């Protein structure tokens, strides 16, 4: 039976649910938007949004893998974007980007250090830094936007940092260079997670930190590293978003942390830790970006954005849960 063959597959690959949801949604969007959603320009936009949200999502997935959570990534994203824009007009954009990513990593280190040293739940600590760094971002810009003058946005550095698309031929608008960074990060992190000792330790800590500790794993260090990587990736996402838009204000990345967490959950990551799927989480980010873009092209009033997004997330999560329940039944 097809059933019998499919069940173990779903059991082993928690990300299958989100792939099915993605396919269903793509078919639905394409069928109902009269070409407004499924055109090359729009797809290219979706991929760009997926790239920056996806980088953030990968980082959150790693932290979730250790059994912790980081809800400050939206603020980190904003801070890094602002630092990049502030520095890019003064020094080489590459140096600016490096500095911005380092600030992201530092925010991650701040979170990780507090969580592991004080034993305070990461939800509380990162809620604090969510507010601290959002407040700082708004204070630093004092209501204005940082931007790079349009005529200065040339050169390879800008191009590779999300400033333009590549592979554009014919009517296809191409893929934003930010997407390359996403693919690169996905490949590296997947290798680290599946094939290297750190990945083994990370999942062990998420599965049972007590057991990992008893086997000599330095649980605190594993968690700290995950937070640092998470901050750096959110920072890189912010840089690429800033590179694409060329400007940002203090609200950059606001509420993106919720999308990143939703992407992880939709993608089959267990919030309790120990089981994550990076490709699934990225698919989650893609689905959320697609939904958003569908609502835009269908001219749904922005007020309904969040409501609809939330409803779809809840239903997608329920569907995914049903699927997994079915797969685990004998």
Stretch (H or E) spanning 166? strand 165-166
- Applying the rule CB under 8 A, the residues between 256 and 285 that interact with other proteins are 274-275
Decide: 162 and 93 in contact? Cβ < 8 Å: no
Q: What is d(CA 319, CA 183) in angstroms, rounded to the nearest whole number?
A: 27
Per rule CB under 8 A, count of chain residues that contact other proteins: 21
Interface with other proteins (CB under 8 A), residue from 31, 123, 187, 196: 196
Q: What is d(CA 142, CA 136) in angstroms, rounded to the nearest whole number?
A: 9
Least Cα distance to 81 among 246, 316, 296 occurs for 246
Interface with other proteins (CB under 8 A), residue from 142, 216, 301, 329: 216
Residue 215 interacting with other proteins (CB under 8 A): yes
Interface with other proteins (CB under 8 A), residue from 70, 165, 201, 242: 201
Residue 214 interacting with other proteins (CB under 8 A): yes
Residue 203 interacting with other proteins (CB under 8 A): yes
Q: What is d(CA 179, CA 173) in angstroms, rounded to the nearest whole number?
A: 13
Residue 39 interacting with other proteins (CB under 8 A): no
Choices 17-25, 129-137, 207-215, 312-320; region in contact with other proteins by CB under 8 A: 207-215
Decide: 72 and 111 in contact? Cβ < 8 Å: yes
Stretch (H or E) spanning 175? strand 175-176
Q: Report strand pairing: 146-147 vs 175-176.
A: unpaired
Which residues are within 8 A (CB) of 71 and not within 5 positions of it... i.e. 6 or more apart? 123, 126, 127, 130, 257, 258, 261
Q: In terms of CB distance, is 126 or 209 closer to other proteins?
A: 209
Structure tokens at 158: 């800008």
Residue 190 interacting with other proteins (CB under 8 A): no
Interface with other proteins (CB under 8 A), residue from 123, 167, 211, 311: 211
Site track 93-132 with other proteins (rule: CB under 8 A), x = hit = ----------------------------------------
- Applying the rule CB under 8 A, the residues between 48 and 67 that interact with other proteins are none
* Residue 329 vs residues 9, 11, 276, 321: alpha-carbon distances, Å: 13, 10, 21, 12
Q: In terms of CB distance, is 192 or 258 closer to other proteins?
A: 192
Catalog residues that contact other proteins under the rule CB under 8 A. 195-197, 200-201, 203-204, 206-208, 210-218, 274-275
């Amino acid at each position: 039976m097809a059933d019998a063959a499919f069940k173990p597959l779903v059991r082993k690959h928690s990300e299958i649910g989100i792939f099915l949801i993605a396919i269903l949604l793509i078919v639905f969007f394409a069928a109902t938007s009269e070409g407004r959603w499924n055109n090359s320009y729009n797809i290219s936009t979706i991929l760009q949004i997926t790239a920056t949200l996806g980088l953030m999502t990968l980082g959150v997935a790693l932290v979730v893998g250790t059994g912790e959570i980081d809800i400050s990534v939206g603020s980190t994203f904003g801070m890094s974007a602002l630092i990049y824009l502030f520095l890019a007009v003064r020094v080489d954009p590459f140096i600016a980007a490096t500095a911005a990513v380092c600030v992201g990593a530092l925010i991650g280190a701040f979170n990780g250090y507090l969580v592991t040293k004080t034993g305070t739940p990461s939800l509380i600590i990162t809620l604090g830094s969510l507010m601290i760094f959002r407040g700082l971002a708004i204070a630093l810009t004092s209501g204005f936007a940082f931007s790079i003058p349009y005529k200065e946005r040339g050169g390879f550095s800008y191009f590779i940092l999300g400033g333009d698309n590549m592979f554009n031929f014919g009517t296809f608008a191409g893929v934003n260079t930010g997407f390359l960074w996403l693919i690169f990060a996905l490949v590296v992190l997947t290798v680290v997670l599946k094939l290297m000792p750190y990945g083994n330790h990370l999942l062990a800590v998420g599965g049972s930190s007590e057991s990992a500790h008893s086997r000599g794993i330095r649980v605190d260090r594993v968690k700290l590293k995950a937070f640092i990587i998470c901050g750096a990736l959110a920072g890189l996402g912010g840089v690429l978003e800033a590179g694409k838009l060329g400007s940002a204000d203090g609200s950059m990345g606001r509420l993106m942390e919720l999308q990143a967490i939703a992407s992880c959950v939709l993608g089959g990551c267990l919030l309790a830790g120990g089981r994550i799927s990076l490709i699934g989480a990225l698919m989650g980010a893609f689905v959320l970006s697609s939904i958003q873009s569908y609502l835009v092209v269908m001219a749904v009033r922005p007020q309904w954005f969040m409501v609809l997004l939330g409803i779809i997330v809840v239903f997608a999560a329920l569907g995914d849960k049903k699927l997994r329940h079915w797969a685990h039944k004998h």
